[in-house]
């Protein structure tokens, strides 16, 4: 029997005993198999209640929470085994924290995780991601990439990741998705890359301005094509790379015109307004997350220095 894999570079998944937990486990198992790494499943429970004096907590309540977490983590381990992850490659972590997302960030730091996986909030519609409190905390502070899974993903999930679709754009003063990071992920997963740029058309303009708007969009399409060509040229020639431009008056519409494979994984970069080396989702990335029909991975913000190979 081989030795258990190191915790370093593991996939971390947050588990709750509901559909979002099933969805998250499904993608985490797929990622761990594709990356050839171990998996840590974590359950974040509330901290103890103050009782019998300053600084003390109800011991019985804490014991109940620990027992409940142990039961849930055993349940999750069994489900991961059924999903093809060897039990020896699964580690478990229970942590007490008032914020489930912040608790997962603590575990990620302690275990040197390479990816955090979480499910959609329960209120979300099927096939889309709803950002609840857990995801919101992860999307505004995780030091490692965060993968969010659409509601109902476990019901008809692919066996493996088939393609990396990268939401790519350049803006003055901002660093686009670094190509070395795209290359690293695609190589580790063994999948082709599609670089995707969304070009938004102005809507609701008076007739006298529409001709000028058409010219602006034409220039934007030309710029986008050049940027995509340049970005594709920065990737390893051994990778299978394609490019695509989608138009729409809103991100929702533009993204709706993009054909996705069952095993697509959509990658986007954090906002350039956020802190360095942490995930921070801005308006555009947030809309992509909420409207994507497949799992989305949000990368921490990088500096220009980080983007150089």
Same topology, domains 11-156 and 163-299? Answer is yes
Residue ranges per domain, the chain?
A: 11-156, 163-299
239 contacts 193 by C-beta, under 8 angstroms: yes
With vertex at residue 290, the alpha carbon angle to CA 288 and CA 295, rounded to the nearest 5 degrees, is: 80
Half-sphere exposure of 285 (CA within 13 A, CB side): 29
DSSP string, 36-80: T--EEEEEEEPPPPB-SSTT-B-HHHHHHHHHHHHHHHHHHHHHH
Please give the structure tokens belonging to residue 242: 């394609």
Checking if the pLDDT of 57 tops 70, the result is: no
Lowest mean pLDDT among 102-111, 133-142, 181-190, 273-282: 273-282
Q: Whole-angstrom Cα distance, residue 254 to residue 62? A: 49
| Interval 110-119 mean pLDDT | 95
Would you state the pLDDT for residue 201?
A: 78
Would you state the pLDDT for residue 300?
A: 87
| Interval 171-187 mean pLDDT | 72
- Bridge partner list, 69: none
Residue recorded with tokens 């007739």 = 207
Provide the CATH number for the domain formed by 11-156 in this structure.
3.40.50.620
Q: How confident is the model at residue 17 (pLDDT cuts 50, 70, 90)?
A: very high
Would you state the pLDDT for residue 303?
A: 38
271-303 per-position pLDDT tens digit: 655 544 578 677 888 899 999 999 999 998 763
Please give the structure tokens belonging to residue 186: 């695609």
Listed in sequence order, the residues at least 6 apart from 17 whose beta carbon sits closer than 8 Å to its beta carbon are: 72, 75
- Kindly report the pTM of this predicted structure: 0.87
> Is CATH 3.20.20.140 the right assignment for the domain spanning 163-299?
no
Lowest mean pLDDT among 94-108, 117-131, 269-283: 269-283
Please give the structure tokens belonging to residue 210: 């529409």
188-220 per-position pLDDT tens digit: 999 999 999 998 877 654 444 455 567 788 888
Checking if the pLDDT of 182 tops 60, the result is: yes
Q: Whole-angstrom Cα distance, residue 180 to residue 307? A: 7
């Amino acid at each position: 029997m081989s030795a258990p894999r190191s915790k370093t570079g593991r996939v971390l998944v947050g588990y709750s005993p509901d559909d979002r937990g099933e969805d998250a486990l499904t993608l985490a198992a797929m990622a761990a198999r594709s990356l050839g790494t171990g998996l840590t499943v974590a359950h974040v429970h509330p901290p103890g209640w103050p009782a019998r004096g300053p600084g003390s907590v109800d011991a019985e309540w804490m014991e109940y929470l620990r027992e409940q977490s142990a039961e849930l983590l055993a349940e999750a381990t069994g489900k991961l085994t059924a999903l093809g992850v060897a039990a020896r490659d699964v580690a478990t972590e229970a942590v007490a924290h008032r914020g489930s997302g912040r608790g997962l960030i603590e575990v990620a730091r302690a275990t040197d995780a390479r990816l955090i996986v979480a499910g959609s909030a329960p209120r979300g519609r099927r096939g889309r991601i709803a950002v609840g409190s857990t995801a919101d905390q992860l999307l505004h502070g995780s030091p490692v990439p965060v993968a969010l899974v659409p509601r109902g993903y476990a019901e008809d999930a692919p066996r493996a990741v088939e393609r990396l679709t990268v939401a790519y754009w350049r803006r003055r003063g901002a660093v686009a998705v670094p190509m070395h990071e795209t290359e690293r992920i695609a190589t580790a997963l063994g999948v082709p890359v599609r670089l995707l740029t969304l070009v938004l058309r102005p809507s609701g303009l008076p007739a006298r301005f529409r001709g000028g708007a058409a010219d602006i969009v034409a220039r934007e399409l030309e710029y986008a094509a050049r940027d995509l060509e340049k970005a594709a040229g920065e990737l390893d020639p051994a990778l299978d790379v394609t490019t695509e431009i989608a138009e729409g008056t809103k991100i929702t519409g533009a993204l709706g015109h993009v054909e996705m494979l069952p095993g697509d994984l959509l990658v986007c970069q954090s906002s350039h307004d956020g802190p360095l080396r942490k995930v921070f989702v801005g308006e555009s990335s947030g809309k992509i997350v909420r409207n994507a029909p497949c799992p989305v991975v949000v990368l921490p913000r990088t500096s220009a220095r980080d983007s150089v190979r």
